[in-house]
Amino acid sequence: MQDTLGPEGTRRIRASIATFLQDRLQARLDKLTLEDPKRAELIAQFEPDMWLEDAARRVRQIQAVTHALKPIHPDARGTNLYVVPSQLPSLDLVGSHVLGQGFVSDVVGNAAALDVYKFLRLQINGRSLLDGLLADDPVVVRALSDDPKKAKAWQIAFVGLTQGKDGALASHALAKQVYWLAGEDAADDAQYHLLAPLYATSLAHAVHGVLQEDRFGETNKAARAARRAGEEHADALREYPGLAVRKFGGTKPQNISQLNSERGGVNYLFASLPPQWRPRKLRQPWGVTSVIDQMLLHRDGVRPTVRALLRFLLAQPPSNVDTRDRVDGYVSSLIDELVIMATELQQGWPDGWTADARCELVPEEQLWLDPARAEDDEVFRRQWMQMDWPAQVGHRFGNWLNAQLSGRLPVGEAEQRQWRRELLVDESEHGWAQRLHEARTCLDAPHYIPTRMGVI
């Protein structure tokens, strides 16, 4: 590799090494008195040459891995693997290959030698010491020692961290093994491969970081608070239903691996069940005079939203913008359910279903819920075109919401007008007004809503 940083790069690396050693030395000296005879011995141990010599010897007690055996069983003894993710085959499934170059290797072995690994993870110019040694960067190698032979010997020792132990690949009686059919004949034993699964520890650590941020990060906290308050939020809310936690190592997670210790032994398991689709059974609208009065309250989420709105108003919040925004959020949730219910009826029943003798809906709700009938029914079309029925539907919604709050709150005509107006001017992407605009365009109807006081 071409030497691009020169002596200055070597000096910077040595300065980082000196800082690392001084920090560790000082932590130990702080535990000793000034008169303690062990101080001189300890200071000598942390001289760069002496410490690096000792580290090059102790590094054989640990191994850098991306796939570890101990998480499979803590007492298993066998082969661990270090495989750079970018060198793995690219698959459509999620695996260690998706990590690319941005991965963190784990380390297993004697926990007393983990300080060597922390040393090799020192970051200089955005790259770890270990990466520089693996790349045979002359600037990094020279930073180990002025003696080229000694520096090369230590490089070989440290790089050996990523190489498997001497001997053939081996599994263990306590490790899991799986017979995998590699051919077509399940009755032929020769067509099976015996697999020994290892734990993808680098991938697990990357997933853990994402989940920690999604579950406890400030962005997700703010999004979760906005949902509870019925408010909009710029960022998505991420949730992981059915998430489980498996603890590796008990009270000594460092006995499993370094990354496992950093996670406190926590390893997440996603729910491995397929999603359960529960289609909402569409209630027959026969014998119903008003879907708003007789069906809306029975939809999932409507009662809890009404109760939450009632609790909030009973707390007598101050009359300010925040209060109005929160009330608007609750009412918007109710309007969303109303629009969804209408869409289900419009799309779930054949065109012209309100002409059935069994339909007892009031005229304005027939016009609202069965707009396609206007294409073939001339009388219905003329009534639809008058466009006074949306205000009547809004009036019904306002009365319905007042009825849910009455008895606990002094609601009257002013509140009814507010609820009605929120419905009629709902211009959200799939809101009431947007749906109405679409229907007007299809039927070439006027794009306004007449009311007693003008148009909307």
- How far is the CA of 111 from the CAs of 173, 254, 258, 416, in angstroms? 23, 7, 8, 70
Residue 281 lies in a domain: no
pLDDT digits (tens, 9 = 90+) for 416-446: 788 888 887 765 555 666 667 676 666 655 5
Residue 236 lies in a domain: yes
Residue 192 lies in a domain: no
Same domain, 265 and 323: no
Work out the number of other CB atoms within 10 angstroms of the CB of residue 335. Answer: 21
Q: What pLDDT score does 430 carry?
A: 57
Same domain, 353 and 448: yes
Q: What pLDDT score does 186 carry?
A: 93
CA distance 200 to 208: 12
Low-confidence stretches of the chain (pLDDT < 50) are: 1-4, 451-456
Provide the β-strand partners of residue 269: 244
Residue 237 lies in a domain: yes
CA distance 401 to 431: 18
Q: What pLDDT score does 429 carry?
A: 54
Q: What pLDDT score does 51 carry?
A: 93
Determine the structural domain holding residue 248 and report its residue range.
201-269
User: Do residues 282 and 353 make contact, with C-beta atoms less than 8 angstroms apart?
Assistant: no
- How many residues does the structure list for the chain? 456
Q: What pLDDT score does 455 carry?
A: 42
CA distance 310 to 402: 11
Same domain, 262 and 303: no
Same domain, 303 and 408: yes
pLDDT digits (tens, 9 = 90+) for 121-169: 888 877 889 888 988 999 999 999 989 999 999 999 998 888 766 667 8
Same domain, 45 and 177: yes
Same domain, 140 and 226: no
Q: What pLDDT score does 188 carry?
A: 94
Q: What pLDDT score does 150 carry?
A: 92
Same domain, 260 and 306: no
Residue 275 lies in a domain: no
Could you tell me the pTM of the whole model?
A: 0.55
Same domain, 219 and 357: no
Q: What pLDDT score does 181 carry?
A: 94
Regarding beta strands 266-269 and 244-247, do their DSSP bridges make them parallel or antiparallel, or are they unpaired?
antiparallel
Regarding beta strands 192-195 and 244-247, do their DSSP bridges make them parallel or antiparallel, or are they unpaired?
unpaired
CA distance 59 to 130: 12
Same domain, 157 and 56: yes
Residue 188 lies in a domain: no
> How many Cα atoms within 13 Å fall on the side-chain side of residue 278?
2
Residue 323 lies in a domain: yes
Per the structure, the count of domains in the chain is 3
User: Do residues 227 and 220 make contact, with C-beta atoms less than 8 angstroms apart?
Assistant: no
Task: Give the largest CA-CA distance in the chain.
Answer: 106
Same domain, 114 and 218: no
Provide the β-strand partners of residue 159: none
Q: What pLDDT score does 167 carry?
A: 63
Q: What pLDDT score does 192 carry?
A: 95
Same domain, 258 and 351: no
Domain boundary (123, 155, 183) is at 183
Q: What pLDDT score does 301 carry?
A: 85
Same domain, 264 and 353: no
Domain boundary (236, 269, 302) is at 269
Which residue, among 382, 132, 358, 161, has the nearest Cα to 258 in the 3D structure?
A: 161
Q: How is 2-30 classified by DSSP, letter by letter?
A: ---SHHHHHHHHHHHHHHHHHHHHHHHHT
Q: What pLDDT score does 2 carry?
A: 40
